[in-house]
Amino acid sequence: MVKSSLAPILPAALGPDFQLSSDWFRVPRACEYSQFPQSTLYEIMDDPENQIVTFTLKLRKGQKRGIRFILRQSLDAYLNRKAREAGAASPAPAAGADGEPSPAEPVASP
């Protein structure tokens, strides 16, 4: 459901059942999601090598401050890179439709 505060800026064609995408996080939600303290998250975002995609939304012309948004997929990619660097194992492949391991998956013998 569209919040009433968003109704003036959303096109009427979207309808009352329109759901906002969760692809973008505000900083507090990104901290909750990643479990990073806010200061650490800002340090990570400010380093271009980390490739965290962000933008600042300013609602009024000439506004000095705005709302910082972070692309969830870029934060996920950063965390995955750091996990690989730390030697974390990649997720196990899913089993086939019949519950049997996929052909590429080794089968342990008894």
What residue ranges do the domains of the chain occupy?
Answer: 24-85
Separation of CA 77 from chain center: 9
**How high does pLDDT run on average in the chain?**
78
**Mean per-residue pLDDT for 59-80?**
93
Single-letter amino acid code for the residue at 78: Y
Higher pLDDT, 96 or 1: 96
Q: Is the pLDDT of residue 100 over 60?
A: no
Question: Scanning the structure block, which residue is given the tokens 């870029």?
Answer: 74
Q: How do residues 28-58 score in pLDDT, each as one tens digit? A: 999 999 999 999 999 999 999 999 999 999 9
Q: Can you state the percent helix, strand and coil of the chain, rounding each to 5? A: 35, 10, 55
Q: Is the pLDDT of residue 13 over 50?
A: yes
